Amino acid sequence: MSVQPASLPDIRADVVVIGTGLIGATLAVALASAGVSVVAIDRLAPAAMTDMRFDGRTTAVAWGARRALSRIGVWETMAPHAEPILDIRISDGRLEPERVTAATSLLHLHFDHREAGEGPDRAPAMGYIVENRHMRLALFQRLAALPLAVLLAPATIARVERGEHGVETTLGDGRIVRAALVVSAEGRGGGGLRESAKIRVGGWSYGQMAIVCVARHERPHRGVAQEKFLPGGPFAILPMTNDETGAHRSSIVWSERTDLATAVLALDDGSFAREFAARFGDHLGVVAPVGPRFHYPLSLSQAERYVDRRLALVGDAAHAIHPIAGQGWNLGLRDIAALAEVVVDAKRLGLDIGGANTLARYESWRRVDNLALLAATDALNRLFSNDIPPLRALRDLGLAAVNEVAPLRRFFMRHAMGVVGDLPKLVRGEPL
């Protein structure tokens, strides 16, 4: 990868990627690793995006996504910072203010990675939890090693012109980047590309906010991830690597009604710690939140289409889901793998990589998978984010029933691992 100073002349490449977050940077790496020249552009510098204060979240990397990251040469760098998810425990709960704690139903659903597959399908974990900053560092390091990748960051974009035969992206300094295809990885806000293509977006706010922080606890988590469904939303406890002192840690994604989340975030440290501990429980001994608190509004969105003339949308620019199952980034990863595959195939056949046929193949491949997961996560959040007694009884019985039927339990596990459906080559662990 070369980081271009402003004095250099115009640039020509196969693909321009707008946005170098986790999705955009991964796409740039996948393309450049497979012989497709790419220019990645972002308004922020890599140093800003890898600063600890920039993004306090972690990402759940499903097993299928981990295979893709290995294939493009990224996983080995982030692996030391990745904690395996060996078990997942899903339970229903409610707050008991008089006890300042959360009661958990005895009926639950338990996934054990050893049940998910046999022989070549057997995986050492269902997935991994990795801090976003370590993912970014690994991606930028890999980009730096790829001759076919150019990173322009920080850089501004004056305009993007998508013509019949190509794309011209004019930068704020006057340079022009010419390519056959432009990809928007600008996130759920959409940026300018989706709007300029007049692609409508449907969706709604959940009236919830995700509070993200790190918990330090007395006992080791042993690779167990927990999802507690509380009336205000799911409370996820995700296993992290120990910190530099050896202290045990978990990543917390605490979904709560926006009004209550706002009030909780305004609490002093002591009061926040008490509210936090009430939801976390004492199964890992003494627990306390450490470090900064981050917060993000929760919503669902779906673009009416993922492509336009010489334009493709990936990740949150195309669709955004509730974090209830930790599948948002994995869904975007499958977008990346599918788009990279159709682009590489077209290039090798001498076809137009930004042409209508290439983009139609990408869109038709991804739409069903994305719509299915949007519907599933939306239904789960609506079913569990309440304290209605009949619904509580129904969902508790449902969790227990799935837990008792081994084939059904394995089916859901393999879905969580991202290894079900019409998978792109990278997700299958195969080269492009």
Higher pLDDT among residues 201 and 110, named by residue: 201
The dihedral region occupied by 19, where left means phi > 0, alpha psi between -120 and 50, and beta the remainder, is left
Give the distance from CA 47 to its chain's centroid: 21
Nearest to 88 by CA among 375, 402, 331: 402
* Each residue's pLDDT tens digit, 32-64: 999 999 999 999 999 999 988 888 889 999 999
CA distance 126 to 82: 12
Nearest to 283 by CA among 218, 232, 229: 218
End-to-end CA distance of the chain: 20
Residue 416: per-residue pLDDT = 87
Adjacent-strand bridge partners of 87: 112, 224
Q: What average pLDDT does this structure show over 239-253?
A: 97
- What DSSP letter does each residue of 257-305 carry, written as one string? EHHHHHHHHTS-HHHHHHHHHHHH-STTSSEEEEEEEEEEEEEEEEES-
Find out whether 14 and 36 touch, Cβ atoms under 8 Å: yes
pLDDT of residue 99 exceeding 50: no
- Check residue 153 and report its DSSP letter: -
Return residue ranges of the chain for CATH 3.30.9.10. 88-124+204-299
Q: Which long-range contacts (CB under 8 A, 24 or more apart) does 98-106 make?
A: 100/274, 100/278, 101/278, 101/281, 102/228, 102/230, 102/235, 102/278, 102/279, 102/281, 104/228, 104/281, 105/392, 105/396, 105/399
Q: What average pLDDT does this structure show over 197-224?
A: 96
- What DSSP letter does each residue of 162-181 carry, written as one string? E-SS-EEEEETTS-EEEESE
Residue 399: per-residue pLDDT = 75
Output the six-digit token pair for 404: 């008792």
- 88-124+204-299: CATH topology: D-Amino Acid Oxidase; Chain A, domain 2 (3.30.9)
pLDDT interval class at 96 (50, 70, 90) = low
Residue 127: per-residue pLDDT = 95
CA distance 378 to 381: 5
Output the six-digit token pair for 293: 């608190």
Q: 313 vs 37, 44, 167, 373, 384, CA distance in Å?
A: 18, 20, 15, 17, 31
Return residue ranges of the chain for CATH 3.50.50.60. 2-80+126-203+300-384
* Each residue's pLDDT tens digit, 116-155: 766 556 789 999 999 999 999 999 999 999 999 999 999 9
* Each residue's pLDDT tens digit, 366-403: 999 999 999 988 888 887 777 777 777 777 777 777 77
CA distance 136 to 131: 9
| Percent of residues, the chain, with pLDDT higher than 70 | 93
Q: What is the mean pLDDT of the chain?
A: 91
Q: What average pLDDT does this structure show over 215-240?
A: 94
pLDDT interval class at 81 (50, 70, 90) = very high
* Each residue's pLDDT tens digit, 292-327: 999 999 999 999 999 999 999 999 999 999 998 889
Going 264 to 265 to 268 to 270, the CA torsion angle's sign is positive
Q: 199 vs 214, 307, 343, 373, CA distance in Å?
A: 37, 9, 22, 21
| Percent of residues, the chain, with pLDDT higher than 90 | 74
Which CATH superfamily hosts domain 2-80+126-203+300-384? FAD/NAD(P)-binding domain (3.50.50.60)
Q: What average pLDDT does this structure show over 210-227?
A: 96
* Each residue's pLDDT tens digit, 326-353: 899 999 999 999 999 999 999 999 999 9
